Structure 1
Amino acid sequence: MFSAVTWKEIAHLLLNLVEAIVGFVYVVTTVSLGAGLSVTVIGLPLLALGLMGCRGLGRLERRRARALLGVQVDDPRPPRPVGPGFLPWLWAGVKDPVAWRHALYFAIRLPWGIVTFTVTLVSLFVLWPVLPYLSRGMANVDRSMVRGLLQPSDELELRIAELESDRGVVVDTAAADLRRIERDLHDGAQARLVALAMDLGLAREKLLEDPEAAARMVGEAHGEVKVALQELRDLARGIHPAILTDRGLDAALSSVAARCTVPVAVTVELPARPAEAIEGIAYFTVSELLQNVSKHSGARRASVDVWRAGDRLMIQVEDDGRGGADLATGSGLAGLAERLDSVDGLFVVSSPVGGPTTVTAELPWRDRDFRKADPVKQRQRRR
């Protein structure tokens, strides 16, 4: 008795003839007619519509292959016109490489459909014992044709789709950062400054009638000013610390390590400073990892190593804590992984229960444009 997979393959091969006839007739009629009339007004629009129909037939064929052959092929993205209007749409449709590959698929299917239908039908009565082997071989050819001609155009298109997804992560992260900054300003420095203004107003009223009380209130307000300034410094450090801009990763990461609750050895070996965006992501990655070390690890020591390997900026943070960190738990580590993935980076966590924990991050290396990074020196050079 044949297996369920074999029966699905047989059904697919028997349906090939119908699919091949429909696809071949459609391609020959629409594409050939559109190409033949391309010198007229209706020719190119008819060709673009015909190619669009090839995409629709390809979608049905992918579903049939998915159901009967188990082939998982993603649907290609629709063509993107370079601008609004009819002509950009027409040009995008006519030069669509995915649609042309779909048309080629259905153009060459007719002889193959006749062969597979005939061999399968005859084998059901004459070559019954070897039918599973024949059907598997012909079905594998069909699988190859679907993967080769009906999948997204190439690695570039897949990469574009991936980058579009990553762009969404970047936008969401930026929005979350803006909400955090707004919340910190509202709940911290802004509330403290409002209270400070009220205290100074009361002190002004008491200045003549009770100078000692007014002086005491001004002294308290002075202390509140110091606290507000420190909160603003901390907030600015969370956006982009001045030490990172002025002195680079080595000094900035040493400053972060000094605030960690465990001793941290920092080693930064870079031939030059990377681009500002990459440098900033590296800084905040290490900063968040060391915060996790302080809060959750129970470690006695930690280390941070940063170096360049080819066209990658490498970061490794280790601690001898209890371990058990896991990206799958939806923790802050998962957010870091998404942030690095959005810039074509990598994030790997090794943290067995009992420790130690090693986090390795990779970022693409991009050279810094010092003309943009230091406009003051650039103006001086122009003078």
Structure 2
Amino acid sequence: MLTKALKDRRYLLTSWPWRSLLHLTVTAVIAAPVAAGFWTLLLPWMVAVRDVSEGRGPQPAVLVLMLLAAVLLVTCGPVVALPLAALERRRLGLIDERPLTGPHRPLAASPVTWLVSRYREESTWRAVLYAALLGLLAPPFWFGVAVLFVFELVLLLSPGLTEWQFGTYVINGGIGSVPFVLLGIVLAPILLYLAGVLAAAHGALARRLLGGGDGLRDRLTEVAQSRARLADAFDAERRRIERDLHDGAQHRLTSLTLQLGMARLDLPDDSPAAEPLGRAHNQAKELMVVLRDLVHGIRPQTLGDLGLPAALRELAGNSPVPVTVDATEITGRLPERIETTAYFVAAEALTNVVKHAHATTVQVRLLRAGDGIALEVLDDGRGGADPARGTGLTGLADRVAAAGGKLLLASPAGGPTLLRVEL
């Protein structure tokens, strides 16, 4: 690796200086067409800046060219930058032996789909930024480097030159050029180190902008989006199950209970079938209660009909621990995912309070928090809530994260416990 080689005292005796020179030379060749195109697009903007600095507005033709240049940069920039980035990643092996994988995921799709997907990736625009920096900085930067090395070459070959001028001195070659040869010999190691530093800096920039780190960010974003889609699919399946149970099984069970009740009325009390029929009728009624609670637990009807504040008040009314609800800051309906997530967080939190906290009162508050909402559940229990002990807090955090929110917990030993969810 070039960076480590520069710290080695034997750097000048290795191949790294010449690899650096080769890398810089090839970079200049690659940067030439990129710079030509980039500076051509910048030309109308430079004219506009000149006009503004002189106190007059840009001409209409200049404005049109500025807009055209911006459109071409946005639309055609990735088309140029992506193959350039692939070439630079391969060429980086000349000065850095660590492999640099591309940040883009392979897509088995049509060219149009492939291009659209690439335009949506952050790594693509990092490649565009790399190409812009290469086109902007390469011409003046590499021109200065070339001048230095030409000057070094002239110093070393000065005895063979018939006549050349160095400042105010006119050198006729021969013995009079010996001091300049010595100066060239002294400067040679400095220029070789300079070449190594420049190549290492360029390699670091290429690795930063063209490597897989931002691809990881793209993948993490995709994972977060896929997790949100899974959560939505889970909620949709939950609603389907609730609807099937409510419209199908519950209605049939209700009909069965009514028929058993009618048969029980028509059957004499001294009939041998009266007692078994009575037990079946009672079990059917108990099963109706169980099924109603099951349907309510899957998705409460109040949440769908009246919204989150009403559903929280209903939840508080069914809790064995006294619960007060404050939702005065929330008016109107919230997005379905937000309502569903907040409701089940509150339900799980109240369940935890009943099972573990030994609290006497609970406060549930629904607040505005910037562009979103915050749900707070505060109890006066014994505290010490720990997600590692399996109190359902890890599952709550996962559910909240899937909805794009965050969960905060404060539960010192002795209480109180505050659970805050921001969505």
Task: Give the TM-score range, shorter chain.
Answer: 0.5 to 0.7
Cα 1:62–1:353 shift into 2, 3 Å: farther
Instruction: Count matched residues.
Output: 324
2:192 paired with 1:167: no
Once the two structures are superposed, the pairs formed by residues 296-335 of structure 1 within 5 Å of their partners are: 296-327=356-387, 332-335=392-395
Describe the shift of the 1:319–1:67 C-alpha distance in structure 2 as closer, same or farther (beyond 3 A).
farther
TM-score, normalisation: structure 2 = 0.55
SS of residue matched to 1:315: strand
Larger Rg: 2
Q: Do the aligned residues in 2 keep the contact of 1:54 with 1:102 (CA within 8 Å)?
A: no
Corresponding position of 1:39: none
Per-residue deviation, 1:209: 11
Work out whether residues 48 and 94 of structure 1, in 8 Å CA contact, stay in contact via their aligned partners in 2.
Answer: yes
Pick the aligned partner of 1:216 from 258, 262, 275.
275
Alignment of 1:332-343 (within 5 A): 332-343=392-403
Q: Cα deviations across residues 335-368 of structure 1 (Å, max 9, x unaligned)?
A: 22222223322211122333322111111xxxxx
Deviation at residue 142 of structure 1 after TM alignment: 6.7
Is 1:286 the counterpart of 2:346? The answer is yes
The AA in structure 2 aligned to 1:339 is R
SS in 1 for 2:273: helix
Matched, 1:56 2:86: yes
**2-structure distance, mates of 1:23, 1:275:** 55
The partner residue of 2:306 within 228, 247, 258 is: 247
Identity percentage of aligned residues:
31
When residues 263 and 137 of structure 1 are mapped into structure 2, their CA distance, relative to the original with a 3 A threshold, is farther
Aligned to 1:100: 128
Name the CA distance, whole Å, in 2 between partners of 1:263 and 1:74.
58
Q: In the alignment, which of 352, 358, 377 is matched to residue 418 of structure 2?
A: 358
Between the aligned partners of 1:230 and 1:287, the Cα distance in structure 2 is 19
| Residue 284 (structure 2) pairs with residue 225 (structure 1) | yes
Q: Match of 2:296, as an amino acid?
A: R
Q: CA deviation at 1:331?
A: 5.6
Contact 1:326-1:349 within 8 A present in 2 as well:
no
Question: Matched residues in 1 for 2:80 and 2:28: separation?
Answer: 12
Do residues 273 (structure 1) and 301 (structure 2) align?
A: no
Tell me the amino acid that sits aligned with residue 319 of structure 2.
Answer: C
State how far apart, in whole Å, the 2-side matches of 1:279 and 1:310 are: 17
**Gapped runs of 5+ residues in structure 1?**
34-46, 364-383
Greater Cα shift, 278-287 or 11-20 = 11-20
Q: Distance in 1 between matches of 2:78 and 2:113?
A: 11
Structure 1 length-normalised TM: 0.60
Q: Distance in 2 between matches of 1:317 and 1:325?
A: 13
* Structure 2: gaps of 5 or more residues: 38-76, 150-185
In structure 2, what is the Cα distance between the partners aligned to 1:74 and 1:338? Answer: 31
Residues 17 and 113, structure 1, Cα contact 8 Å, conserved in 2: no
Contact 2:231 2:403 (8 Å CA) reproduced: no
Contact 1:315 1:361 in 2 (8 A): yes
Equivalent-residue separation in structure 1 for 2:86 and 2:314 (angstroms): 58
Secondary structure of the residue aligned to 1:292 is: helix
The code of the aligned residue for 1:346 comes to K
Q: In the alignment, is residue 349 of structure 1 matched against residue 409 of structure 2?
A: yes
How big is the alpha-carbon RMSD for the aligned residues of Structure 1 and Structure 2?
5.7
